[in-house]
A and B are shown apart, each in its own frame.
Chain A
Amino acid sequence: DAKTTQPPSMDCAEGRAANLPCNHSTISGNEYVYWYRQIHSQGPQYIIHGLKNNETNEMASLIITEDRKSSTLILPHATLRDTAVYYCIVRAAQGGSEKLVFGKGTKLTVNP
């Protein structure tokens, strides 16, 4: 069973920030939050992951609440090419199930 809850869809204007929420209220202390995205007709692509501190890379920022029960993926300046399904996944870094379990994700549409 998926351990995360995401809105099924979101819209964002091109050039604006896209903020994608994820609830993971049952997250364990040793579980990380991972984000992947899947652009139409392609395989999923890793974006970012974090444990409790906020993280930033060239693709996005990840904000995790202090209680770790929710997080937000931020695309600071969304482009049309960011239109995709975004998956939030929680999983232990080691010792847990070795497979990534994908839920239904959020379909983000970036509009011109």
Chain B
Amino acid sequence: GAGVSQSPSNKVTEKGKDVELRCDPISGHTALYWYRQSLGQGLEFLIYFQGNSAPDKSGLPSDRFSAERTGGSVSTLTIQRTQQEDSAVYLCASSLRMGDAYGYTFGSGTRLTVV
């Protein structure tokens, strides 16, 4: 597609439930990044993919968070047993190749609210 697409745009879930967030990168972009942004805060790096592999998972806050990417395209971020502190906007970005720092294209994000 023309841009990075994320779904759902908004998600309200009950504490303790699992959620899946989806990211469709720009076609042909090999690198994909997940960030989150809590209310009034800056962007926090979570994980990035080069193709289907994730060389850097250092930003995942806990083992409740996991992500995968299949076919070098769509990525899913899964949060298990959600907690209120997980409430944030989750942003996905893609770039043509790894290290292409001027070429990040971000999606509009998924706003997650845990009640």
A-to-B contact residues, CB < 8 Å: 32, 34, 36, 41-46, 49, 87, 89, 91, 93-94, 96-105
B41 / chain A contacts, CB cutoff of 8 Å: 104
Asked whether B102 lies within 8 Å of A98 as measured between CB atoms, the reply is no
- One of B45, B56, B98, B108 near A43 (C-beta < 8 A): B108
CB contacts between A and B, total, < 8 Å: 59
Interface of A (DSSP majority class): loop
Interface size on B, residues (CB 8 A): 26
B-to-A contact residues, CB < 8 Å: 4, 31, 33, 35, 41-43, 45, 48, 50, 55-56, 59, 91, 93, 98-99, 101-109
Query: What are 29 A-B contacts with C-beta separation under 8 Å?
Result: A32-B101, A34-B101, A34-B102, A36-B104, A43-B4, A43-B91, A43-B93, A43-B106, A44-B43, A44-B93, A44-B104, A44-B106, A46-B105, A49-B101, A49-B102, A89-B101, A91-B101, A93-B99, A96-B99, A98-B50, A98-B99, A99-B33, A99-B48, A100-B33, A100-B101, A100-B104, A104-B41, A104-B42, A105-B42
